[in-house]
Amino acid sequence: MTERRAHQTDKVARRILESEEAERRQKSERLKSARLAAETSQAKDDKKQKKRAKARFPRA
């Protein structure tokens, strides 16, 4: 009976760990997507600012 209980405990613990790992992976992917979107948005804003600066201050 003790061996069966140990096996059951091990099985439950492994399921919990696998679940937590899956949650971490999902969170990491979500954060990575958000970071990439923010970087893309920032790059677009930088290009717009450079265009505006060139329009306001043309080279002589």
Task: Give domain limits for the chain.
Answer: 1-60
Length of the chain: 60
Measured between its terminal Cα atoms, the distance across the chain in Å is: 90
The Cα 41–Cα 43 span in angstroms is 5
User: What letter would DSSP give residue 57?
Assistant: S
Q: Supply the pTM of this predicted model.
A: 0.60
The Cα 56–Cα 52 span in angstroms is 6
pLDDT in tens, the chain (60 residues): 799 999 999 999 999 999 999 999 999 999 999 999 999 888 777 776 766 666 666 665
The Cα 54–Cα 52 span in angstroms is 5
Residue owning tokens 């009976």: 1
